[in-house]
Structure 1
């Protein structure tokens, strides 16, 4: 025991002496010499099959402390980044190009003397390298952390299990899918919006399609709200809507994926204006343990019935069943970028929404009634599919869900202090779920004796109908007006403000069968009301002959297609009897 007690202090003293000797030995050494020593230590650990974690951390700290001002230092930093991201790395025989390699892509970093970077090129398997201005700028500014994150994003686009041959086959299938999606997006169609960019997003069969560039996958912008349109106009951003990345991912089961384009050039279309696909035969497809994916950015809160419909569209190719489902308003609150995270949903929620002219509305979401199964949802990150013909119908569902989400979220506000202060609101409303895709807004009339109900049915992202229910009052022209206002602004509070203004100007309550003079007067009032409020202004409809055409040589210009989901594709004619709702047929 005495020997051990004496040995402790002696060992500690020897350790301190050894550290002191090490410090004095390397006190006059340069950072580069110390750096090379650590690198040699790391090389010795390669025989063990893994790098010693403390040494790796030491090397990383030294790298971050060094000012990269030489070719050797730049190469060392790139090699360290590759190791961190699970990539390979090597130098060209001339030692002027550093390669960062993965199974499906590689990156060329062309170097000059002094560690300066001349060019950065990204190459996917079997394709020529393409310069990447964004990656080049990061390296020239020596923003190595941002560069490393970009590489991580690039590698995460294609998380596919299997050997290199399988990954290469899946990537080849993905490229043929992209070709077909471009062909579908370039088919002629009727113009429905005056803003061509918005029309392409909301009404294009594949939305606004952008090809992959600088190592990023193809993107599809599939929905944009009126508030996003205003934000885009004021900020000049190219894209502020909801986007899906077209990628591929591993699957527990094998699926038949295309090995070539399934659409002829020029495309042949059916009576609905959709392309006719070549059947998936042994010669043009292969069974692989993967699916194509739409990666939603941001992830989309979706109703469980909608998730089930996506499975029917893709013939049962669905992601894992959601483990946790919640009432849709609660899910929207949790994923909102503007709401205070502390807002709870124990018994529902209440919001005070400020409007122009110092007008305030209160919106209550009772927790108990929103708990019904048909209005529960889950957060969807990816949508798996196996055929280009699935995409238009899937996008219609995503747009439909997005429209419902935008309407509900329009009643949210982060002005919780207004609610807590007991502010006197101009209008108090209770938002309730009704049948599928239908909700109601109950509010008090100006006499504070009678209640009125606004029923809102979201048929899809292009069709919404409103019905105002009041005692002894029916006016279909007013219902049509309210529906147009809602479609125009996609905001329940703004629509309720328009209803209050209309009801305030009503002196008598018309009977269900109004005389012609009364109907004409109300119609005139509707038109004047539209012109007074920009939010309620109705844009002119596009001429019936208007047509959006692509300059692509692959476009079939013999047919002008009506807007219709992709359920009419000949290869998926069984959809008509698959039990889908009418709006998808």
Structure 2
């Protein structure tokens, strides 16, 4: 009789979704009718009945939810109430639960949690034991329990369960778990190899330049993680730029395993011979999987990206080419790269759109200067420039990891530059911006920024080639602009700050200082145009990707030409800006088919009239 009333009452509470007036009425009625019964007795009665349902395939969900909600509002002040709370959390995670005197065990296939309780209901100790291993104390799980922050504890337990949630039957799980441990040991060996530093900041140098980034070794209560990209943090800070959307997020990847529709050979021992032998690039010489103990399993290793990375189609194909493992495209949704970056920036849904495609972003800079940037939707809709958000990268051999990380860094560099002019602040009809810029794609790894020159009534174009994380070059085009040292200076600024607005502000300050002067011989095309105004001339412009494009220049070039004051950028100024950066020409490690440059600026007559 008591149980039936309790069940009916709890189900009513669940159906009412705990509306306060209804809940108070039902709880009061229950309390008055069974005042001599304690809540603990009621909980125990309900749990006993839930453990033996009439139909095990259909558990009483309303009853379970009601019990969970009741336990959430009951103060944990005894060992029994703490046991009840831990049991509920274990069942929510799909784990088993057992009790031995003052110790609770939360169990899964490949690990278990050992929680030692105090008589008052507090937690004395929490240990994690992997399969076949000894229990190890876990401070990260102990603190939430001691503070009675059960939601935080449940979240950490969910992450731990995911870490050990290896697909397959019991035999396959054990083999995959052993294979993952072998992979981790090989990655640690690679990370310990000596190399020359490239950055003055040791932590940033390890993350951005390490063979496998900054490796955080896995523990019993935390997975192995690789940090492989972080934007520059020296010099001008994000707070100085007032760019609230550009967060200094460290890009990382969790190393784990995942199920696969295809059987792959995975290592069951180290594939690095001892002692390690290094190749010409400083990497260890690896054994092939056929030369080392291995198992054929329906799974593969995974780099779970944290956060996921928007990647262009060509980069996704290169990932598969490096690993020989196809990236499943079932759930991939393709869209222009800027749109993917907009979605991942905060509060991007408030943007004002033009023709439902173009969004104008405003970027505030120090000194009250306001830039506006537009990324035309039509220009970025080219199929080759469409991208998708990649959340995991499959692979089967540790030798593939360095090349994968280099490619991911390359995409992160492109994304960081484009994100620097994509903010949550969008220009409205009453927005007053000092300078306006148009960002257009030129190839898969290059884009251009068109703007009005401060020194002349004409346009100029800054071409940005991103051949890799440390291989970024800037080339300035415009009537009468012909100073190679300025290009070198802008490239250095771009590499240091990884920001389009900062680089363009620097460029504007340089252009404002220019004075009429003889044209530098480094740009012969403009000189030819000055000598012969009646006939257009052609200039061959070779971008860093090897795309050779002929530019036909209009005859309407002004009589006078300009160069930067002093005819060149001071080399000492360049070296002081960033002495550790190598400004030598970059080589693209990922060649692809040539893409025409500046085709959207050409008129029907073949003239580059927009630049004049």
Q: TM-score with structure 1 length normalisation?
A: 0.82
Out of 260-269 and 521-530, give the one that drifted further: 521-530
**Alignment-derived partner of residue 576 in structure 1:** none
Shift of 1:522: 3.5
Aligned partners of 2:482 and 2:73: how far apart in 1?
75
**Alignment-derived partner of residue 445 in structure 2:** 437
Query: Aligned pair 1:148/2:172, yes or no?
Result: no
Query: Aligned pair 1:413/2:453, yes or no?
Result: no
**Alignment-derived partner of residue 51 in structure 2:** 43
Contact 1:473 1:509 in 2 (8 A): no
**Alignment-derived partner of residue 184 in structure 2:** 178
Aligned partners of 1:428 and 1:275: how far apart in 2?
50
**Alignment-derived partner of residue 293 in structure 2:** 284
Counterpart secondary structure, 2:172? helix
Contact 1:475 1:510 in 2 (8 A): no
Out of 324-333 and 448-457, give the one that drifted further: 448-457
Shift of 1:64: 1.6
Contact 1:31 1:66 in 2 (8 A): no
**Alignment-derived partner of residue 134 in structure 2:** 128
Task: Report which of the two has the higher share of helix.
Answer: 1
Query: Aligned pair 1:539/2:579, yes or no?
Result: yes
Where do residues 49-448 of structure 1 align in structure 2 (5 Å cutoff)? 49-92=57-100, 95-213=101-219, 215-227=221-233, 240-281=249-290, 284-321=293-330, 323-337=332-346, 339-342=348-351, 346-416=356-426, 419-423=428-432, 425-447=433-455
Shift of 1:36: 1.6
Out of 168-177 and 263-272, give the one that drifted further: 263-272
Aligned partners of 2:254 and 2:332: how far apart in 1?
24
Contact 1:107 1:123 in 2 (8 A): yes
Shift of 1:504: 1.0
Aligned partners of 2:380 and 2:366: how far apart in 1?
29
Out of 370-379 and 33-42, give the one that drifted further: 33-42
Contact 1:472 1:509 in 2 (8 A): no
Aligned partners of 2:262 and 2:281: how far apart in 1?
33
Out of 203-212 and 116-125, give the one that drifted further: 116-125
Shift of 1:158: 4.2
Aligned partners of 1:242 and 1:300: how far apart in 2?
9
The structure-2 alpha-carbon separation of the partners of 1:265 and 1:46, relative to structure 1 and needing over 3 Å to count, comes to farther
Shift of 1:491: 0.5
| Residue in structure 2 matching 1:456, options 464, 472, 479 | 464
Contact 1:352 1:419 in 2 (8 A): no
The structure-2 alpha-carbon separation of the partners of 1:19 and 1:265, relative to structure 1 and needing over 3 Å to count, comes to closer
The structure-2 alpha-carbon separation of the partners of 1:564 and 1:132, relative to structure 1 and needing over 3 Å to count, comes to farther
Counterpart secondary structure, 2:134? coil
Contact 1:260 1:285 in 2 (8 A): yes
**Alignment-derived partner of residue 11 in structure 1:** none
| Residue in structure 1 matching 2:33, options 25, 36, 39 | 25
Shift of 1:22: 6.4
The structure-2 alpha-carbon separation of the partners of 1:150 and 1:318, relative to structure 1 and needing over 3 Å to count, comes to same
Matched length: 518
Query: Aligned pair 1:465/2:473, yes or no?
Result: yes
Shift of 1:564: 12
Aligned partners of 2:196 and 2:575: how far apart in 1?
26
Out of 349-358 and 158-167, give the one that drifted further: 158-167
Aligned partners of 1:268 and 1:541: how far apart in 2?
30
User: Is there any run of 5+ residues in structure 1 with no aligned partner, and where?
Assistant: 1-17, 532-536, 543-562, 568-578
Counterpart secondary structure, 1:48? coil
The structure-2 alpha-carbon separation of the partners of 1:520 and 1:377, relative to structure 1 and needing over 3 Å to count, comes to same
* Cα-to-partner distance string for 1:384-412 (whole Å, 9 max, x where unaligned): 11110111111011100000001001112
Out of 269-278 and 452-461, give the one that drifted further: 269-278
Contact 1:464 1:483 in 2 (8 A): yes
Q: Which has the higher contact order (CA 8 A, sep 6+)?
A: 1
Counterpart secondary structure, 1:269? coil
Aligned partners of 1:519 and 1:113: how far apart in 2?
79
* Cα-to-partner distance string for 1:416-458 (whole Å, 9 max, x where unaligned): 3x543131x3321110000220100011112553111100000
Shift of 1:484: 0.6
Query: Aligned pair 1:504/2:487, yes or no?
Result: no
* Cα-to-partner distance string for 1:337-360 (whole Å, 9 max, x where unaligned): 364555558222111211111111
Counterpart secondary structure, 2:215? strand
**Alignment-derived partner of residue 575 in structure 1:** none
Counterpart secondary structure, 2:375? strand
Aligned partners of 1:522 and 1:370: how far apart in 2?
36
Out of 159-168 and 378-387, give the one that drifted further: 159-168
The structure-2 alpha-carbon separation of the partners of 1:19 and 1:480, relative to structure 1 and needing over 3 Å to count, comes to closer
Contact 2:302 2:392 in 1 (8 A): yes
Aligned partners of 1:309 and 1:358: how far apart in 2?
43
Q: What is the alpha-carbon root mean square deviation over aligned residues?
A: 3.0
User: Is there any run of 5+ residues in structure 2 with no aligned partner, and where?
Assistant: 1-25, 241-247, 524-562, 594-612
Q: TM-score with structure 2 length normalisation?
A: 0.79
The structure-2 alpha-carbon separation of the partners of 1:44 and 1:421, relative to structure 1 and needing over 3 Å to count, comes to same
Shift of 1:19: 11
* Cα-to-partner distance string for 1:469-488 (whole Å, 9 max, x where unaligned): 01133211111111111101
